[in-house]
Amino acid sequence: MGLTFHHELRLPAYTTEAEVDDVLARLKRRAEELQFGDISETFIGVVDYLPDPRRHFFNVLVDCNASSMDLDERQFSGSPDTARGFIVDPGKGCEWVTFAFLRRTYEDDGSKAWCWLGHCKTQYASQFGEQHFVDCHLRVVAMLDFAKTLGVDVTVYDEGDFWETRDLDRLLAELDR
């Protein structure tokens, strides 16, 4: 727990790989504009071994996104070779956040969609000052808002309640709590 964003990104099944890549390229440009601390290359699929810790992190998240858990509302399977995305660092003290998609097939009706479940804890950015925390948190919000303008269906659970309320005082009160 503790001031973490949980997000789901979705694009319709009819979205082509080229269109997914275009959405990711636009998101990556936006990350550059927002001055994220570090932006990885765009990863495609899963690679058995690379010494880059970001690539390893991406591979682990692909595995997590490729199969449903018992608690999931709908059971699905995903194709790891369709995974594509990149990792950004919102700032010192934050976890990396991944913007990516993987093609899923739902077991109940065979429907498909491009999806990604991710998370990013921003709470520990506060070790570097309240303003640094706010900047990091708002940077992630700005990326998710921008994804919506690109036609991505974005669902967010923000433990700081900022996503829902856009109330900075409430976010800071939650940080203090």
- Give residue 176's pLDDT: 87
pLDDT tens, N- to C-terminus, the chain (177 residues): 468 889 999 999 999 999 999 999 999 999 999 999 899 999 998 877 667 888 889 989 998 888 877 766 778 888 899 999 999 999 999 999 999 999 998 888 888 999 999 999 999 999 999 999 999 999 999 999 999 999 999 999 999 899 999 999 999 998 888
This prediction's pTM: 0.92
Domain boundaries, the chain: 4-176
Query: 97-106 and 4-12: which strand pairing?
Result: unpaired
Write down the pLDDT at residue 136: 95
pLDDT of residue 46: 85
Secondary structure element (H or E) that encloses residue 119, with its range: strand 112-121
In angstroms, the CA 71 to CA 43 distance is: 28
CB proximity list for 42: less than 8 A, separation 6 or greater = 21, 24, 25, 28, 84, 85, 86
HEC states along 1-63? CCCEEEEEEEEECCCCHHHHHHHHHHHHHHHHHCCCCEECCCEECCCCCCCCHHHHHHHHHHH
Q: How many CB atoms lie within 10 A of CB 91?
A: 20
pLDDT of residue 75: 81
pLDDT at 49: 64
Distance CA 32, CA 52 (A): 20
Cβ atoms within 10 Å of 109's Cβ, excluding its own: 8
